Amino acid sequence: MNLKEKTRALFAEIFGYPATHTIQAPGRVNLIGEHTDYNDGFVLPCAIDYQTVISCAPRDDRTVRVIAADYDNQVDEFSLDAPIVTHDSQQWSNYVRGVVKHLQQRNNAFGGVDMVISGNVPQGAGLSSSASLEVAVGTVFQQLYHLPLDGAQIALNGQEAENQFVGCNCGIMDQLISALGKKDHALLIDCRTLGAKAVSMPKGVAVVIINSNFKRTLVGSEYNTRREQCETGARFFQQPALRDVSLEAFNAVASELDPVVAKTCSPCIERKCAHR
C-alpha cells in the first residue's frame, strides 16, 4: 500500500467519509550551497522521491482535525476562531499549527479541514522532512479553498512558521525546492530575490544519498547558533548579509573578528564567491 492509499484508507476509517484531495510535497537534497540560503546566497537543491502525503477534505465549520499516521495515529484538533498556540507534547503538531497560523495572517478566507498525514522522508537525516510537511499543509489549504498563493508564497509561509512558531531560524531553500521542484531537474535559487531556474540533470546521472546514521535536528541544534554567527559577521562589515561581503574584504580584516565567528563565516563567503 503506497502513501496515497494508506492515507486515504485511514481517512475513511477515522472520519467516516472519503477524502476529496490528496496532496504531496517532496523532501530534498542540496547539491551546492550549504549554509548559504540564510546568507542570501545561491543554492542548487533538487527534490527527491520521498515525500509527505496528506489526504484531506474541507469541513463546513472552523475546526482543523489532524491525524498523524506515522505517530500511532496521534490526533490534533484546534479551532480557527481561537488563538493558535503551540502544542505542549506533540512537536509534529506545531508544524501544522504554525503553517495554519501564518496562513491566517496572509489570507483568512478559509475554513476547517480534516486531514491524515503520512510520509517517508527520513527524519533527522537532513532531507527536509519538516519543510516537506509545511509545504504539504500549506498546499492543502490553498487547494481546498482556492487561496491566491503560488508555490513561492506557500514556501515563504512554511519558512515563517518554522522560524517564528516552531523556533528554528532556517533559510528558504528547503521549502522552496519542496514547493517548486521539477522532475529530472535541480533548481538554481537566488535566496535573496527568490528567483528560481530549473536546471536539467544530465541523463544517466543518479544522485546517491548516503545515510550517515547521525541524527540531525534543527530546533535546539547548532543551526540557530551558526546563523547568529553569520549575522554577526555581516553586521561587522555593515552589510545586510554575507552575500554582500567579498572574499577580499573578509580576508583583509578576518583577524579582527571573533575567531569562532570568522571560522563560521569564511566557508559561507567562499561558497558564495565560487557560485557566481
Label residue 217 by pLDDT band (50, 70, 90). low
CA distance 21 to 24: 10
Residue 232: its pLDDT value, please? Answer: 93
pTM for the full predicted model: 0.89
| 181-197: pLDDT as tens digits | 999 999 999 989 989 99
The per-residue DSSP string of 156-181 comes to HHHHHIIIIII-----SHHHHHHHH-
Residue 276: its pLDDT value, please? Answer: 52
| 95-137: pLDDT as tens digits | 999 999 999 999 889 999 999 999 999 888 889 999 999 999 9
Flag whether pLDDT at 216 surpasses 80. no
List residues with catalytic annotation: 174
Least confident interval from 35-39, 58-62, 213-217, 259-263: 213-217
* Domains assigned to the chain: 3-200 (3.30.230.10), 222-275 (no CATH)
Residue 162: its pLDDT value, please? Answer: 95
